[in-house]
A and B are shown apart, each in its own frame.
Chain A
Amino acid sequence: MERMKLDRKIVAIVAVAAVVVLITVAVLPGLLNSAEEDNELRIAISSDVNSWYLTAFPDGDARYVWAQVFETLIRLDTNLDMVPGLAESWYSPDNGLTWIFNLTQGVEFHDGSDFNASAVIFSYSDLLSAKQWGILSKINSTVALSDHTVQFNMKSAMALPYYLTHVAWPILSPNAANADGSWNGQVIGTGPFKLEEHVTDQEIRLVRNEGYWGEAPVLERVTFKVVKDATTRVMALKAGDVDMILKPSESDVDDLDDTDGIGVQTKLTTFTDFLQFNTKGDAHNLTTSPFQDLNVRKAVAYAIDTEALVEDLLYGYGEAARGRPYSPCMMFSDPGLPLYSADLDTSNWYMEQSGWEKEDDGYYYKNGTRFQATLMLSNEDAWGPRFNIMADAIQAMLGEAGMDIELVKVPTTTCNAKEASGDFSMIMRTGYFVWGAYPRHFLVHFQFNVYSHYANASYNALVTASDATNDLEVMEEKYLALQQAVIDGLPAFYLVHEYKIVAYRDWVKGYHMTAEDPWLNLNGVSVER
């Protein structure tokens, strides 16, 4: 009898506990959601801001944040044309040897100090990254002609304005620097939003810059949440935990589009994913890359079906590059460039030219050794969730063609170390020297570039010539020749021209996508819940 009583008590306790738990689960989210502020936009991005200063290049999605806080002298509009930014106008009196910028007046930094010529000179001084990295090393000196006029003296002619559109090389206040030029910890830009708080690996909170010189932003706050995993970003958007996400996986786009209350915008960008070959082998002769042989590189180009990659893997959200190095939205991209089409017979023909024979197991052999190569990529997913699956598919496609490919997915630092020592045969990457529409990407195959694994004298000459002029006609001629040289010499095989994908809740009003990747234009965007 007493046992029964006890039993009932225990059942009652368990039942009460269960009810409490259920109520908590059901009610809490409702309570907490009311904490959202009106006119705050919460955006999920895939990587944290690694740097707030010009000594280090902002990696991955950090640039979307920089674009809100810092501004460049020249900006790009939706069609990637140059429009005034912190510079009202600019010209070169001598065809690219010197450049004169007239600065916008009445602009204040976030700390209230004036934006003027000395800020520009500071931002392009020798200590800071753009010059350290060698990209802007052709700047000989910068001179203030007046408080709001700056002259750049170049070592040789150069189309400088295109470079100055890059969001990674904006204008910072000299007040952010110590006397020796190192960073003093302050984040001082001129952008429409200013930094309120940065919690490492979690979020970056920005507030409206009330003294913004341009069109005043509608949003009061912008919070970037760092969510590395693409699926998690999608779920966060669906659950209303964030208002906007960047770079969802291509396989989620249709599903997002079909979801009530969620809008998706996609647009072709200037970024192109490519497979870079190690055509030099290893400096220390530790490994020998089979891709020193042009025939083998051609066999790869004919074995990879980039149209299938786009249609089947990316659900059409991308454009098959078929070897074309420049996205069609780039300057000078050649619409008449002859491209590759997947064709295993042709691939086989090229392999046989170099003495590779297919054996019963379906793989190529030469002198009894199986064809083996590595495909290396970063496991950090910073460029996009598609990389993983694309690498898997390429491994399968090349396997089908008879090449035994090992995937090496390693941290970016390991990737860099292996690349530096030549311990790889292919690397998959995207972008590189891509900013705006200006096609400087060819630098990546320039023999004396750190990222280059290609040595071709005539190619080098073309690259040097293309960067030594401000004459559009000469540039066009050189850039067309460079594209042909990539198709013929295959320093890399180009896979997919990327689509930028942004999804958002329909309470986000007034968002229009721009084509350039690191640019997130929040001008005129509001949140109306």
Chain B
Amino acid sequence: MIAYALKRLVLLGFILFGITLLTFGLMHMAPGDPAFTIAEGRYGTDLTPEQVEQVRAEEGFDDGWWVQYQKWVSHLLELDMGRSLVTYKSVTSEIAARIPYTFVLAFTASIITFATSIPLGIASAVRKGRRQDVAVRVLSLVAASMPNFWLGLLLIWVFAVVLGVLPSFGAGGVAHLILPAFTLGISMAAINTRLVRSAMIEVLSQEYIATARMKGLDDWTIISRHGLKNALLPVLTFAGLQLGFLLGGAVVVETVFSWPGIGKLLVDSIMVKDFSMIQGCVLVIGATFAIVNIGVDLAYAAIDPRIRWDVDA
């Protein structure tokens, strides 16, 4: 177990290193002279070449990339991700201000997901091959096939335009959360339902379930005592992947609903080519994703030492 944990942690360290390298590299592959972009933001369009050179010297763009990278990482370790090229605000504080919004949205969407997918998945598994099962499978497939930006717009049209009962943009009270959370939750629920279903089918085919049945326990008792727990274990393994799904979905959903989370910040920054902000967002999203994934691996290994999921390590 300890060896496995160490292996995972080394992998995490490596991935984090890779993420910083990739993020750093991406920004330096960006077209245009970064010194010019920064100088333009600082001094306006009426630039002199001296001003550009001054910025280049200050920011150290003349140094080799490895020196620049080290400098960048050492700032990073002090949680200093520089300043926005557009608003001059600290990237760290701007991202910190947005994270709670994404968290609330993702959390609510997850609740919606679990509240719908677990009962539906179980129902579908128990009635495998029957009409109910087919209905759930088709329904989940249909829901999973809906592009979330389109679903979001449809919900806006129904609830904000036609019925006028829900706000269609921004953050505010709970009312503002409903449409974006459902948009994000529905497609995730669709995928999750299928996961719960297949995990449940596997569990229900186990011998101990058959034994329990022979003992005369009714299905409900069997599922609540043995099945559910065992079925949810593999589902939880994919929590990491689901987080990826949530973060990716959040980018689109937050943009559609003007929800002020980190996803919208990323899209807005891309639109105005705010390189330092893009860098910050990508880094935070990538690091969160990697840490949670490894964390899930470790937690899973702790709970169920029989299984080591990772084929590569």
Q: Which of B5-13, B57-65, B170-178, B243-251 contacts A (4 or more CB under 8 A)?
A: B170-178
Bound together, the chains give a CA A117 to CA B174 distance in angstroms of 49
B135 to chain A, nearest CB (A): 12
B170 to chain A, nearest CB (A): 7
A419 CB–B CB distance under 8 Å: yes
Bound together, the chains give a CA A5 to CA B45 distance in angstroms of 74
Report if A420-B47 is in contact (Cβ < 8 Å); known contacts: A232-B169, A413-B86.
yes
| B94 in contact with A24 (CB, 8 Å) | no
Question: Which chain B residues border A9 with CB–CB below 8 Å?
Answer: 220
Which residues of A, 228-285, contact B by the 8 Å Cβ criterion? 228-229, 232, 235-236, 238-241
Question: Which chain B residues border A143 with CB–CB below 8 Å?
Answer: none
Task: Count how many chain A residues have C-beta atoms less than 8 Å from C-beta atoms of the other chain.
Answer: 45
- Candidates B46, B164, B271; contact of A379 at CB < 8 Å: B271
| B170 in contact with A227 (CB, 8 Å) | yes
| A3 in contact with B126 (CB, 8 Å) | yes
Question: Which chain B residues border A32 with CB–CB below 8 Å?
Answer: 172-175
Bound together, the chains give a CA A201 to CA B37 distance in angstroms of 22
Bound together, the chains give a CA A24 to CA B174 distance in angstroms of 10
Q: Which of B117-125, B140-148, B284-292, B299-307 contacts A (4 or more CB under 8 A)?
A: B117-125
Shortest Cβ distance from A20 into B: residue: B115
Bound together, the chains give a CA A202 to CA B265 distance in angstroms of 12
- Candidates A17, A235, A420; contact of B116 at CB < 8 Å: A17
B80 CB–A CB distance under 8 Å: no
| A28 in contact with B174 (CB, 8 Å) | yes
- Candidates B97, B122, B160, B167; contact of A10 at CB < 8 Å: B122
Bound together, the chains give a CA A201 to CA B101 distance in angstroms of 13
Shortest Cβ distance from B120 into A: residue: A14
Q: Encode contact with B along A95-115: 1 for CB under 8 Å, 0 otherwise.
A: 000000000000000000000
| B123 in contact with A25 (CB, 8 Å) | no
Report if A25-B166 is in contact (Cβ < 8 Å); known contacts: A200-B87, A416-B40.
yes
| B160 in contact with A239 (CB, 8 Å) | yes
A225 CB–B CB distance under 8 Å: yes
Question: Which chain A residues border B97 with CB–CB below 8 Å?
Answer: 200
| A201 in contact with B45 (CB, 8 Å) | no
| A235 in contact with B168 (CB, 8 Å) | yes
Which residues of B, 99-127, contact A by the 8 Å Cβ criterion? 115-116, 119-120, 122-123, 126-127
Question: Which chain A residues border B219 with CB–CB below 8 Å?
Answer: 2-3, 5-6
Bound together, the chains give a CA A232 to CA B36 distance in angstroms of 35
Q: Encode contact with A along B258-275: 1 for CB under 8 Å, 0 otherwise.
A: 101000000010011100
B120 to chain A, nearest CB (A): 7
Bound together, the chains give a CA A417 to CA B30 distance in angstroms of 15
Shortest Cβ distance from A32 into B: residue: B173
| B271 in contact with A236 (CB, 8 Å) | no
A455 CB–B CB distance under 8 Å: no
Which residues of B, 161-204, contact A by the 8 Å Cβ criterion? 161, 164-175, 178
B168 to chain A, nearest CB (A): 5
**Which of A26, A200, A228, A420 has the largest number of chain B CB atoms within 10 A?**
A200
Report if A236-B46 is in contact (Cβ < 8 Å); known contacts: A411-B272, A413-B40.
no
| B41 in contact with A413 (CB, 8 Å) | yes
- Candidates A201, A229, A411; contact of B271 at CB < 8 Å: A411
- Candidates A14, A28, A238; contact of B161 at CB < 8 Å: A238
Bound together, the chains give a CA A29 to CA B271 distance in angstroms of 32
Bound together, the chains give a CA A3 to CA B213 distance in angstroms of 12
| B37 in contact with A413 (CB, 8 Å) | yes
Bound together, the chains give a CA A416 to CA B169 distance in angstroms of 30
A380 CB–B CB distance under 8 Å: yes
Shortest Cβ distance from B173 into A: residue: A32
Bound together, the chains give a CA A299 to CA B280 distance in angstroms of 48
- Candidates A235, A379, A413; contact of B169 at CB < 8 Å: A235
Q: Encode contact with B along A1-33: 1 for CB under 8 Å, 0 otherwise.
A: 011011101110110010000001110110011
Question: Which chain A residues border B41 with CB–CB below 8 Å?
Answer: 413
| B45 in contact with A420 (CB, 8 Å) | yes
Bound together, the chains give a CA A115 to CA B86 distance in angstroms of 33
B282 to chain A, nearest CB (A): 18
A50 CB–B CB distance under 8 Å: yes
Question: Which chain A residues border B47 with CB–CB below 8 Å?
Answer: 420
Bound together, the chains give a CA A419 to CA B46 distance in angstroms of 11
Question: Which chain B residues border A201 with CB–CB below 8 Å?
Answer: 260, 268
| B171 in contact with A239 (CB, 8 Å) | no
Question: Which chain A residues border B273 with CB–CB below 8 Å?
Answer: 411, 413-414
| A417 in contact with B32 (CB, 8 Å) | yes
Report if A239-B167 is in contact (Cβ < 8 Å); known contacts: A5-B220, A413-B273, A420-B47.
yes
**Which of B36, B127, B169 has the largest number of chain A CB atoms within 10 A?**
B169
Bound together, the chains give a CA A24 to CA B165 distance in angstroms of 12
A183 to chain B, nearest CB (A): 11
| A227 in contact with B45 (CB, 8 Å) | no
| A200 in contact with B174 (CB, 8 Å) | no
Question: Which chain A residues border B116 with CB–CB below 8 Å?
Answer: 17
**Which of B97, B166, B223, B268 has the largest number of chain A CB atoms within 10 A?**
B166
| A17 in contact with B115 (CB, 8 Å) | yes
| B123 in contact with A236 (CB, 8 Å) | no
A229 to chain B, nearest CB (A): 7
- Candidates A3, A10, A200, A202; contact of B94 at CB < 8 Å: A200
A168 to chain B, nearest CB (A): 14
Shortest Cβ distance from A234 into B: residue: B161
Bound together, the chains give a CA A7 to CA B220 distance in angstroms of 9
Bound together, the chains give a CA A239 to CA B126 distance in angstroms of 44
- Candidates B89, B94, B132, B218; contact of A5 at CB < 8 Å: B218
Show 28 residue pairs from A and B whose CB-CB distance is below 8 angstroms, ordered by the A residue.
A6-B219, A6-B223, A7-B123, A7-B126, A10-B122, A25-B159, A26-B165, A28-B178, A200-B94, A201-B260, A202-B260, A227-B258, A229-B169, A229-B258, A232-B168, A232-B169, A232-B258, A235-B161, A238-B160, A238-B161, A239-B165, A241-B172, A411-B272, A413-B37, A413-B273, A417-B37, A417-B45, A450-B46
Given contacts A7-B132, A417-B32, 4 further A-B contacts (CB under 8 A): A14-B120, A238-B164, A413-B273, A417-B36
Please report A residues at the B interface, Cβ cutoff 8 Å.
2-3, 5-7, 9-11, 13-14, 17, 24-26, 28-29, 32-33, 35, 50, 200-202, 225, 227-229, 232, 235-236, 238-241, 379-380, 411-414, 416-417, 419-420, 450
Please report B residues at the A interface, Cβ cutoff 8 Å.
32, 36-37, 40-41, 45-47, 85-87, 89, 94, 97, 115-116, 119-120, 122-123, 126-127, 132, 156, 159-161, 164-175, 178, 218-220, 223, 258, 260, 268, 271-273
A-B residue pairs, 7 tightest by C-beta = A32-B173, A2-B218, A10-B123, A6-B219, A411-B272, A29-B175, A232-B169
